[in-house]
Amino acid sequence: MTVLRKLWWGEYSLPVAFWLFYCLGMFVSLVVGAIVLFKSRTIDARPIALIVCLALIWAYQLTASVGVWRSAAPYWTSPILMQRVWAMAARIVVAGLMARIVLGLIDGGAVALVQQMTGHIEF
C-alpha cells in the first residue's frame, strides 16, 4: 500500500509515475480485469465480477491520474523548458482521459452499464 500512497501524493518522478504506473499499470489492470471477467463466466458470477473489476480499475485509474498530476508539479515550475513541456503533456493526457470517461458516462454509458449489470438490455 505504500507504493500506491507514494503514487497518490506524487512522490515518484514524472517519468516513473507516467510510464510505469499510468501507462503500464493501467494496461495491466485492464488485462487482469478482462481475464477475471472471462473466468467469471464459468462460475456464473459475471455481474458481481463486472462490478468488482470496474471498481478496482476505476480506483486505480483515479490513483494513477492523481499521482501523475502531482508528480508533474515540480516539472511544471522547472527552469528547464523540456521539463515544463513534459509536465504539460502528461497533464493533457490525464485530463483527456478523465474527460473521455466523464463524457462517456454522461452520453449514455452509465445507463448502458446499469442495464448490462441488471440484464435489461434494450435494442
Per-residue pLDDT band at 123 (split at 50, 70, 90): very low
User: Measured between alpha carbons, how far is residue 120 from residues 1, 34, 50, 105 in Å?
Assistant: 38, 22, 15, 18
Which one has a higher pLDDT value, 79 or 49?
Answer: 79
Tell me the DSSP string of 67-92. HHHHHTHHHHT-SSHHHHHHHHHHHH
The kind and range of the H/E element at 95 are: helix 81-104
Residue 121 has pLDDT above 70, yes or no: no
Average pLDDT, the chain: 86
* d(C-alpha 72, C-alpha 107), whole Å: 30
Q: Is 80 exceeded by the pLDDT of residue 98?
A: yes
- Given this model, what pLDDT does residue 104 score? 80
Q: What is the pTM of this model?
A: 0.80
